[in-house]
Amino acid sequence: MKVSIGWIREWARVRASDAQLAERLTLAGIECEAEPHRTDLRDVVVGLIRDVQPHPQADRLRVCTVDAGGKQPLTIVCGAANARAGMKAPVALPGAALPDGTAIKQAALRGVESAGMLCSAKELGLAEKSEGLLELDADAKVGVPVAKHLALDDAILVLELTPNRGDCLSVLGLARELAALYGLTLTGPAPRAPTVASTKKYAIRIDATRDCPHYAGRAIEGIDPRVRTPDWLRERLRRSGLRAIHPVVDVTNYVMLELGQPLHAFDCAQLHGAIRVRRAKAGEALALLNEQTVELTPADLLIADDRGALALAGVMGGAKSGVTAQTTEIFIESACFAPERVAATGRRLRLPSDALYRFERGVDPTLQRAALERASELIVAICGGRAGPVTEAGARRPKPVTVRLRRARLDQLLGHAIPDRDVEALLKRLGIGMKRIARAGWHATVPGHRYDLRLEVDLIEEVARMYGYDRIPARPYAAPLTPAPVPERQPAQLLRERLAARGYFEAITYSFVDAALQRQLAPDVTPVPLDNPLADTMTQMRATLWSGLIPAWQYNQQRQQKRVRLFEAGVCFGEGAGAVAEQERVALIAAGPAAPEQWGVPARPVDFFDVKADLEALFAGVGGLRFEAAQHPALHPGRSARIVRDGAPAGWLGALHPRLVQALDLAEAPILAEVEMSALQGLALPHPAEPPEFPSSRRDLALVLRDEVPAADLLAQARGVGGPLLRAAGVFDVYRGAGLPNGFKSVALSLIFQDNSRTLTDEEVDAAVQAVARRLQEAFGATIRGESSGGVDQGGTGRSAV
């Protein structure tokens, strides 16, 4: 909300500057800023156009004779269509500088001397856009500076109100708050009820009393709809961002800004019978002021007459029943509607309005009569007419809300004892009635405008707020510590650090992803679509982290980053049996060269085994891990592995499927991996054995066998037969090609034997190697191509070429 500070100051005579006043309110929880208002309209005065003649040289220009308070009338050339004799308008005299920088000089316009310029609102910086001259009040004093006539020496208070402080959505509310903060007496409002000069009245019936606790209304007959809303009222509306529309509507808006009570004016010519406040019937429709027709439900509250719906209570008026330029008889509504009722309708129909904004935050249920009198007074003063008697329905004086405030509770929550005297004084300033309960605290009576004060804790906040949060001392940390057991390593933290140490950068991608991409990456997962996505490329929750990492890789590739290593740790979403499941995972993407570009090392593209090593580093210390050949719809069928831990699937590793590389128009096939975070849990606590003191013996074994035999099976068999003396078995070379039959490969195994209590003899080791060789022959049909003795395995001596 925006509102003139000058207006507020009429009722709260604060000495502080505009900026100080805004700061004081802000520190009291009413967040606002004072925006200076333009006042430097030097040499722009009120002028009276006495005569308008056509310009001899230009069809679109006219020559006006203007009285600007000087001895001689001025001749001013003007292009505005609305210039007419008898009209008052701003005149910028020679020497004036307009807000847009235009310097006004005496000058000839198409051959006619012009002694200044007649101005529009836009030219004076009073509107973003405007048509024609700014018309001023007919009784504005000629020659008076326009800045004075319009009281432009002002500032605007721009508020960001929290939803609990609807009571501050008015000049009255802000003046009241300021008076409380500065300890001043509020000097307004003092509405004068107009004389009742008509007998016209409408019966009011409230069917839904809970939705509408109070309704007041009155008719005013014989108004003149052609009058112009006076400048002082227009200006105040303008400073709140409202345009003058119609004198009656302008007054209802003015009173809403002034007192915080939204009002509505009906054209009596469109009313038939009694006014009713009722719930809508299912399927009932209403054409609204904004030219929208809405279908209503029994959850919506209506103002209706005998013929049907007139307005959406507290939200928006109807198109047919509102005031027009022909209206001469009006009925003004000043009602209190329940916040939750109005909010429900506003939210469902997405109809923002100033009335709704106030009603959903709570309008003072005691304010309706006063606001109605104030509006009547202004309308009769501006438009003339005869006010009828006020009709009211519902609770005229709602039962005041009383809340108990306990002394002990106040201290318990604040940790600081504010003296009784101060507590009473601070709350009384807010208009809260304080009745002491012997030693225990108070009964506080809350004023009608404070919807937010219903609980004891609400009052405690008010005490703290008025006292000042800064005056409540900070209490040094005194809580007893209850230290918890410290886990050895945190897997989530460890994995990030390990991956970063291996050259990966951590990415954070949006959890909502492109559905088309995801359908290709995780066709087997039922995704979780968003009901209300923000963009076409963010329509469903990620089912795999790859849905975010692949675009992140592309983003970098488009920026000349050839070598990309990214990882992300986060939640993936899927739906099963109607329920949403969340799984924490970590995923990797690697593309481009295997190593950073460097001298002395031939460049090659990253491959499966590079990333497998990264995964093995991740899983270091986690037992029971296995990679097995398996097919994944998004991965190359010959280059993908399921990761299995303790027999349970734990993730995937592989090259992106060539079909997808093509479909996604990618430059290369990245290597992808994704692992369940749960599989990384349970890091073994090391309980190390002492390193053996006796030397180990290494033997190398070269085998030729069928291509499809997995290395893992080979090693498993070797370990199975090698017995406790076989300490380690590994693959150190694989060869295919010349010298081998098609479909066969040569694999070189290293076998390391050791005993903790003695040096092994050659015979023992030879026997063990023979056993391994025999087993591999039996199990896989492997032929032994060579065997060599490494002797004592120190520094890798004695390896034979295979």
If the CB atoms of residues 512 and 780 are measured against other proteins, the closer one turns out to be: 512
Whichever of 572 and 782 has its CB closer to other proteins, that residue is 572
Q: How far is the CB of 173 from other proteins (least distance, A)?
A: 15
Grouping H, G, I as helix, E, B as strand and the rest as coil, residue 275 is strand
Window 7 to 36, contacts with other proteins (CB under 8 A): 26-29, 31
Q: How many residues bind other proteins (CB under 8 A)?
A: 90
Name the DSSP class of 72. Answer: S
- Residue (284 or 456) nearer to other proteins, CB: 456
Is 434 a binding residue for other proteins by CB under 8 A? The answer is no
φ and ψ of 86, to 5 deg = 90, -5
Residue 789 tokens read as 């003795």
Based on the shown chain and the rule CB under 8 A, indicate whether residue 789 belongs to the binding site for other proteins.
no
Cβ nearer to other proteins, comparing 72 with 532? 532
d(Cα 13, Cα 3) in Å, to the nearest integer?
Answer: 16
Smallest separation (angstroms) from other proteins to the CB of 425? 18
Applying the rule CB under 8 A, the residues between 520 and 539 that interact with other proteins are 528-534, 538
Does residue 438 touch other proteins according to CB under 8 A? no
Ramachandran assignment for 720, one of left (phi > 0), alpha (psi -120 to 50 degrees), beta (any other): alpha
What is d(CA 306, CA 239) in angstroms, rounded to the nearest whole number? 39
416 interacts with other proteins by CB under 8 A? yes
Sign of CA dihedral 390, 393, 396, 401: negative
Q: Using CB atoms within 10 A of its CB, is residue 328 exposed (0-12), middle (13-18) or buried (19+)?
A: middle
For the window 270-299, what string marks contact with other proteins as x by the rule CB under 8 A? Answer: ------------------------------
Query: Could you say which DSSP state residue 268 is in?
Result: G
Site for other proteins in 599-618 (CB under 8 A): 599-601
Task: Provide the minimum distance between the beta carbon of 597 and other proteins in the complex, in angstroms, as a whole number.
Answer: 10
Instruction: Give 331 or 608: the residue with its C-beta nearer to other proteins.
Output: 608
CB of 310 to other proteins, least distance (A): 23
> Distances in Å between the alpha carbon of 543 and those of 26, 68, 521, 615?
45, 75, 9, 21
474 or 689, CB closer to other proteins?
A: 474
Token reading at 687: 């309980």
Contact 520, 634 (CB under 8 A): yes
- Cα separation, 377 vs 259, whole angstroms: 14
Figure out which of the listed residues 37, 55, 88, 165 binds other proteins, where binding follows CB under 8 A: 165
Please check whether residue 302 is in contact with residue 277, taking contact to mean a CB–CB distance below 8 angstroms.
Answer: yes
Nearer to other proteins, 404 or 719 (CB): 404
384 in Cβ contact with 224 (< 8 Å): yes
Minimum CB–partner distance for residue 478 and other proteins (Å): 8
Give the nearer residue to other proteins in terms of CB position, either 173 or 722: 173
Question: Which one, 135 or 461, has the nearer CB to other proteins?
Answer: 461
Place of tokens 């991996």: 673
Is 460 one of the binding residues for other proteins (CB under 8 A)?
yes
Report d(CA 651, CA 641) in Å as an integer.
Answer: 9
Binders of other proteins among 470-509, rule CB under 8 A?
470, 472-484, 493, 496-497, 499-509
Q: CB–CB of 540/513 below 8 Å? A: yes
User: Which SS3 state, helix, strand or coil, does residue 315 take?
Assistant: coil
CB of 599 to other proteins, least distance (A): 6
Instruction: Say how far apart CA 543 and CA 511 lie, in whole Å.
Output: 9
Of residues 322 through 361, those in contact with other proteins by CB under 8 A are 339-340, 343-344, 347, 360-361
Site stretch for other proteins (CB under 8 A), options 97-105, 194-202, 242-250, 407-415: 407-415
Contact code string over 691-730 relative to other proteins, x by CB under 8 A: ----------------------------------------
Q: Residue 644 Cβ, how far from other proteins at the closest point, in Å?
A: 26
End-to-end CA distance of the chain: 84
Stretch that binds other proteins, among 68-76, 146-154, 557-565, 749-757 (CB under 8 A): 557-565
Strand order in the sheet with 433-437: 401-406, 441-446, 433-437
**Which part of the chain contacts other proteins (CB under 8 A), choosing from 110-118, 559-567, 721-729, 773-781?**
559-567
Residue with tokens 């119609």: 246
CA distance linking residue 454 with residue 351, whole number of Å: 29
Shortest CB 393 distance to other proteins, Å = 25
Tell me how far apart the alpha carbons of residues 509 and 360 are, in angstroms, rounded to a whole number: 37
Name the minimum Å distance from CB 26 to other proteins. 7
Which strand (E) or helix (H) includes residue 780? helix 762-780
Q: Please tell me the total number of residues recorded for the chain in this structure.
A: 802
Nearer to other proteins, 232 or 505 (CB): 505
Cβ-based nearer residue to other proteins, 185 or 560 = 560
Q: Which residues, numbered 723-752, are part of the site for other proteins (CB under 8 A)? A: none
Among candidate residues 425, 652, 463, the one with its CA nearest the CA of residue 545:
652
Q: What is the smallest separation between the CB atom of 486 and other proteins, expressed in angstroms?
A: 10
CA distances from 797 to 152, 163, 751 (A): 96, 79, 13
Contacting residues for 762 by C-beta, under 8 A, at least 6 apart: 697, 789
How far apart are CB 435 and other proteins at their closest, in Å? Answer: 23
Which residue, 532 or 757, has its beta carbon nearer to other proteins? 532
Q: Which of residues 202-221 bind other proteins (CB under 8 A)?
A: none
For other proteins, the closer CB: 71 or 475: 475
Stretch that binds other proteins, among 127-135, 417-425, 550-558, 792-800 (CB under 8 A): 550-558
Of 107 and 508, the one with the shorter C-beta distance to other proteins is 508
**Closer residue to other proteins, CB minimum distance, 130 or 537:** 537
> Which of 579, 801 has the CB closer to other proteins?
579
Q: Which of 149, 122, 141, 125 is nearest to 133 (CA)?
A: 122
Residues 92 and 89: their CA atoms lie apart, in Å, by 10
Residues 6+ apart with CB under 8 A from 238: 126, 127, 244
Across-strand partners of 656?
635
Instruction: Tell me 384's DSSP state.
Output: -
How far apart are CB 448 and other proteins at their closest, in Å?
A: 19
CB of 341 to other proteins, least distance (A): 8
560-599: which residues touch other proteins (CB under 8 A)? 561, 564-566, 570-571, 573, 575, 578, 580, 582, 595-596, 598-599
CB of 402 to other proteins, least distance (A): 18
H-run or E-run covering 684? none
